[in-house]
Amino acid sequence: MSKDLNMKVNVLPVLTYNFLHVNDSALQISDLNIETLSSPKAKEIPAGVTLKEGVSFEEAGKLFLENKDRILAPKEDTVFPNGDTSSRDASQAIRTGMGADVDDLMIGMGVTTDVYTVDEGVKVEKPIIIRYDCEDGKGSLSSQVIHARKDSEVTVIMAYTSDKEMSGFQGVSTRLLAEDGAKINLVKTQTLGNGYVHFDDIGGACFKGGQINLVTLELGGCKVWSSAYVTLSEKESVFNSNMGYLCREDHSLDMNYVADQRGKKTESSMQFKGVLMDDAKKSFRGTIDFKNGSSGSVGDEQEDALLLSDNVVNKTMPVILCQEEDVEGRHGATIGQLGEDLLFYMQTRGIEEDEAKRIMIKARLESVARMIPDAEIMQKIQYYIQNIV
């Protein structure tokens, strides 16, 4: 099926100066050939996990709509920030990083959703692995919902690969609900070919003591959108995100990560480590949003971007929004090339500059790769990193 995409995605939770061109991102592709409208099947479904296949995108969203009041935990006396954009994506069953245009695409194209439900109290030890072995010239859209019932725990690995020279389109929506005391670990590795356009739109919510942990490695593709919006709805819920990225040649990477902290004593930690090479372009938006009622919450966001070419474009928007007195929010960014002191130190130990750079790229990416809880995928990723650098 041929399709033209003209979407506005990754809208910043609050608008800022238009001249920075970071308020949103345009996902525009003409004459896209989309053949596949469902997810590949997981190799193995562990005991305690139910997989319901082929559910319509809207039907799968009902899980979130039915819990909307719990998820949004609306408060009186809310004062909105300047340039607030929250109403734009309010139609979504659950807010996602890329926003409502992805939902509209999924619904319009008739994409089906695979719904994984983890039974109450079940702690699944073995990860569920979903492999996307993408082919040349193909286009696909897919959608998952991962629902961890009370006190359950599950790890899902989504691995997107294709040969280095391949082109195509792959878009995915992943929606997560971690109920009371439940934990969802979502690991995403992306090593698509140099001509691949890819988007990964994540949205999630945590109830009391619930936890969502993301580990993301964006290493391939020519145009990539990678985003997550996690709502910490209730007390003591937690969102951790660790991301490693590599963007090279004339590729682009556009990110929008939001920790929406509504419950008391919630915690968010978002760490981004990346490398830009050649003529790469990257836009990073990271927001910690302390809503009123989130007293006792903490949020931390760090970006460490290593720029290895004089032609890269690096845009960074680390935002903190706050309408709560008793919170601690912090963000930091270090952006630049390898420090002269570090280079000098390495050279005094006989390591040439190029080798030192290789070591530092590997160190950054492998620190995230080591979090992959599957030995085979981890080795493949490490091998991929080794080959690239």
Partner 1 sequence: MENKQVVADIDRSLYDFKDVESEKDFYRMAEGLTKETVLKVSEEKNDPDWMRDFRLECLDLYNKIKVPDWGPSIEGLDMDKISSYVRHKSDMKGKWEDVPEDIKNTFERLGIPQAERESLAGVGAQYDSELVYHNVKDEVAAQGVIYTDLESALRSEYADMIKTHFMKLVPPTDHKFAALHGAVWSGGSFVYVPKGVKVEIPLQSYFRLNAAGAGQFEHTLIIVDEGADLHFIEGCSAPKYNVANLHAGCVELYVGKNARLRYSTIENWSKNMYNLNTKRAIVEENGIMEWVSGSFGSHTSYLYPMTILKGEGSKMEFTGITFAGKGQNLDTGAKVVHQGERTSSVINTKSISKDGGIGTYRSSVIIQNSAKKAKASVSCDSLMLDSISRADTIPGMDIRTNDADVGHEAKIGRISDDAIFYLMSRGISEEDAKAMIVSGFANPVSKELPLEYAVEMNNLIKLEMSGNG
Count other C-beta atoms under 10 Å from residue 386's C-beta.
11
Nearer to partner 1, 24 or 151 (CB): 24
Please report how close the Cβ of residue 328 comes to partner 1 at its closest, in angstroms. 5
Please report how close the Cβ of residue 222 comes to partner 1 at its closest, in angstroms. 20
Q: Is 379 left (phi over 0), alpha (psi -120 to 50) or beta?
A: alpha
Please report how close the Cβ of residue 331 comes to partner 1 at its closest, in angstroms. 5
Nearer to partner 1, 202 or 305 (CB): 305
Q: How far apart are the first and last CA of the chain?
A: 38
| Dihedral sign of CA atoms 35, 53, 58, 133 in order | negative
Nearer to partner 1, 33 or 311 (CB): 311
What is the DSSP annotation of 63-105? HHHHTHHHHH---TT--PPTTB-GGGGTTSSS--SS-HHHHHH
Please report how close the Cβ of residue 34 comes to partner 1 at its closest, in angstroms. 33
Count other C-beta atoms under 10 Å from residue 383's C-beta.
11
Please report how close the Cβ of residue 339 comes to partner 1 at its closest, in angstroms. 8
What is the distance between the alpha carbons of residues 304 and 332, in angstroms, rounded to a whole number?
A: 9
The CA-based angle 107-113-117, given to 5 degrees, is: 140
Count other C-beta atoms under 10 Å from residue 80's C-beta.
12
Please report how close the Cβ of residue 271 comes to partner 1 at its closest, in angstroms. 15
Q: Which residues lie near partner 1 (CB under 8 A)?
A: 14-20, 22-23, 77, 79, 81-83, 276, 290, 292, 295, 307-337, 339
What is the distance between the alpha carbons of residues 251 and 147, in angstroms, rounded to a whole number?
A: 34
Q: Which residues of 178-206 are buried (b: 16+ CB within 10 A; e: fewer)?
A: bbbbbbbbbbbbbbbbbbbbbbbbbbbbb
Nearer to partner 1, 320 or 351 (CB): 320
Nearer to partner 1, 199 or 290 (CB): 290
| Nearest to 124, CA basis, from 101, 156, 172 | 156
Nearer to partner 1, 204 or 329 (CB): 329
Asked if 232 and 261 count as a contact pair (C-beta separation under 8 A), the reply is yes
Nearer to partner 1, 64 or 229 (CB): 229
Please report how close the Cβ of residue 301 comes to partner 1 at its closest, in angstroms. 9
